[in-house]
A and B are shown apart, each in its own frame.
Chain A
Amino acid sequence: MILGIETSCDETAAAVVTWDGEIASNVVASQAELHRRFGGVVPEVASRRHLELITPVVEEAIDGHEIEAVAVTTRPGLIGALLVGVSAAKALAWARRLPLVPVNHLHGHVASLYLKPLDLQPPFTCLLASGGHTMLLDVRGRDGYDVLGTTLDDAAGEAFDKGARLLGLGYPGGRELDLLAREGDPEAYAFPVARVPGLDFSFSGLKTALLYAVRKLSEHELAARRADLAASYQRAIVRALVERIEATGADRVAVVGGVAANSELRASLPDAALAPLPLCTDNAAMIASAARYTDPVPYPEYLSLDARPTA
């Protein structure tokens, strides 16, 4: 069995996965849980938070399972946050004389599709859309992918969150925007879908268009049109994502990352393969899954393994 560890951004996560892709445990420490365990106000982002959580989270994930390899996200992410996971993984692997597998977080997202029961086989075209990343990937084998396109400015999840903020729904509010959009008319506003060459994405102009639409309204008018704005804005983001997928001509499509939770995107891609929602957002089962198709680093070479901010 493989122990996976993930600390690249907000989530402190550990999971145990079998070599054939069964999830034995999958633990993600959320903000809410953190408040319960430690009480009080915690900073949004700090390696300290990962440091406090990593040991209990890993212990809960291992729970008596026999670990044969340790996998950890080494890139990309916030350096300090990544380092907590990498250091914990090194220490665990060293103490138990196990091989260590460095995993790219983005490969992890794709590998969430290789877990059972989905167990998706390449080839397929994969949309990876989250708060921090938006990419279109050509997946030919389980050991990697080629990048077909990427966002030139904001990630799709970020566009949802910032749109929610402009509409007064708080930040991050991608989920709230999705809920509000169900009550609105998606054709009420014609927000521009940015057209950039090739298969890249751009959401920054769309955000500005929403800002100016909101600015033109009085507070009273905004309250009346908020659902229409949300629905039209969401429609524009989803259309941009779907158009790019269609432009690849792919007949097998998969979607991973937190934006895969968006209801309109799911409805627009009825034939796409989607991982279960808990595997769409950051987790460590996907990291252990990716490790099944990544070369391990033997002891003692992995002691010099470093975290990298870039992919």
Chain B
Amino acid sequence: MEIVTASPDETEALAARLAERLSPGDVVTISGELGAGKTTFVRGAARALGVTGPVSSPTFTIGHRYEAPTPVAHLDLYRIVELDPEEWGDLEPYFDGTVAFVEWPEHGGDWLPEARAVVTLEHVDESHRSVRIDSDLGL
């Protein structure tokens, strides 16, 4: 599916619809330029999965893990230029029992588990974003 959202709230609401169809072990990749709304999308999904605190960007810290009714991991591989087996060992705990959202999945090479859903965000104009979700989840 592909939808144009008119605000961060709409992007979050769309992410929540996807989240309802996810369960622990699922991996969702999120691609898009700087400012396209990747963290906003993950925030909407995390809220729907029961995360209550702030969902902030993991660019610097690489990974966040949120304990919630459905645990959520949020990873950003931007600073990892190309994932190697040892670095994968660092990230593996984040995929254990969580719904995991991964920004910059192209930096993960062949090491990332197969994605249940592939989300692509694009700028339309300052407030509008095109959100494409490729999955077999009936969205």
Interface size on B, residues (CB 8 A): 31
Answer whether A79 and B57 are a contact pair too, CB < 8 Å, given A153-B39, A204-B40, A211-B34.
no
- B34 contacts A80, C-beta separation under 8 Å: no
Stretch at the interface among A107-115, A155-163, A219-227, A273-281: A155-163
The CA of A152 and the CA of B59, in the complex, are separated in Å by 14
Residue in B56, B63, B64, B81 whose CB lies within 8 Å of A154: B56
- Within 8 Å by CB of B80, from A45, A80, A157, A161, lies A45
Complex Cα gap A208–B80 (Å): 23
**Nearest neighbor of B67 in chain A, beta-carbon distance:** A310
- Chain A neighbourhood of B63, CB < 8 A: 78-79, 309
The 10 closest A-B CB pairs, nearest first, are A80-B90, A131-B60, A208-B35, A132-B60, A132-B61, A309-B65, A211-B35, A44-B79, A154-B57, A79-B93
- B→A interface (CB under 8 Å): 33-35, 39-40, 43, 54, 56-57, 59-67, 79-81, 84, 86-87, 89-91, 93-94, 123, 126
Q: 6 additional contacts, CB 8 Å, given A46-B86, A155-B60?
A: A44-B80, A45-B62, A79-B94, A80-B91, A132-B61, A166-B34
A34-86: which have CB < 8 Å to B? 43-48, 76-81
Q: List 16 A-B contacts (CB under 8 A).
A: A9-B61, A43-B84, A45-B62, A45-B90, A47-B89, A47-B90, A76-B61, A78-B90, A151-B56, A162-B34, A165-B34, A204-B40, A207-B35, A209-B126, A212-B126, A309-B93
Chain A positions near chain B (C-beta within 8 angstroms): 9, 43-48, 76-81, 130-132, 150-155, 157-158, 161-162, 165-166, 200, 204, 207-209, 211-212, 309-310
User: Are B62 and A208 neighbours in the complex by a CB distance under 8 Å?
Assistant: no
CB-based contact B59/A48 at 8 Å: no
Known: A46-B87, A204-B35. A153 touches B56 (CB 8 A): yes
The residues of A that contact B40 with a CB separation of less than 8 Å are 153, 204
Measured in the bound complex, the distance between the Cα atoms of B57 and A1 in whole Å is 37
User: What is the bound-complex CA distance between A166 and B34, given in angstroms?
Assistant: 8
A127 to B93, CA, bound (A): 31
Look across to chain B and name the residue whose beta carbon is closest to the beta carbon of A157. Answer: B60
Contact A48:B86 (CB < 8 A) given known A151-B54, A153-B56, A154-B56: yes
Query: In this complex, which of A48, A78, A158, A207 has the most chain B Cβ atoms within 10 angstroms of its Cβ?
Result: A78
- Contact residues in B for A165 (Cβ distance below 8 Å): 34
Is the beta-carbon distance between B64 and A309 smaller than 8 angstroms? yes
CB distance from A69 to the nearest CB of B (A): 27
Chain B nearest CB, measured from A10 CB (Å): 9
Q: Which residues of chain A are near B62, meaning CB under 8 Å?
A: 45, 78
Q: B122 → chain A, closest Cβ, in Å?
A: 13
Q: Taking CB as reference atom, which chain B residue is nearest A47?
A: B90
